[in-house]
Amino acid sequence: MTQACSTHGCTRPRSPYDRRCRPCATAAQAAYRARHRTELAARERQRLFSPTQHALRRARSYLAVYLRRGKLRRGCCELCGERTVRPAWDDPGAPLAVRWFCPAHADEHGQLRREVALGRTAVAAQFAALRAAIAALPEDEQQALHHAALHGLDGSGTAPGSLRYWIALRQSYQQRTQSNPFF
């Protein structure tokens, strides 16, 4: 004799794989998902995306709504004025504080964000070592490097002391040391 479903009031025979019949098991599973919907969704998001990726996806979604509604417009590239742009955020938690960059400068902005993500102390240590190496150079070579850094990586210009300036200074220093082995 087969046993009855363990759900109160159900007289159907139980499933060979569960203590309930199939319709009662399905209903119980649906009720569990309804009760724990937010926990399950958070667990699924965490499984699929890192917190940084989740914040960027949320910012992109938020931005798309504002663009579609016409409350925000695409701008030009902040550095070169190109019309074909991508959105970029310094803080994805503020999705409307968007910056617009052309594809080339968007990649550069991503590099800057990765540099900062390494940790401010690590970046500061790298730049301190760079300052010491440049200080050991002759004055005219120092001026040439600073001039190259002020023009930026693509000639669009940088502000002295900005992160873009220091990255341009590091790259111009590396290029000069590779092109001149006696430098």
Three-state DSSP class for residue 13: strand
Give the tens place of pLDDT for each residue, 105-142: 888 777 777 766 666 656 667 777 787 788 788 888 88
**Res 153: pLDDT:** 65
**Res 63: pLDDT:** 94
DSSP 8-state code for residue 108: H
- Give residue for tokens 């001026």: 143
For the chain, percent helix, then strand, then coil, each to nearest 5? 60, 5, 35
- Supply 98's token pair: 């968007």
Give the tens place of pLDDT for each residue, 71-91: 999 988 877 788 999 998 878
Q: For the whole prediction, is pTM greater than 0.75?
A: no
pLDDT band at 143 (very low <50, low <70, confident <90, very high): confident
- Give residue for tokens 């900062």: 116
**Res 26: pLDDT:** 92
- Supply 157's token pair: 């210009």
Segment holding 53, helix H or strand E: helix 51-69
Q: Which of 49, 167, 169 is nearest to 118 (CA)?
A: 167
Q: Which of 139, 152, 59 is nearest to 99 (CA)?
A: 59
Residue spans of the domains in the chain: they are: 14-48, 49-102, 118-179
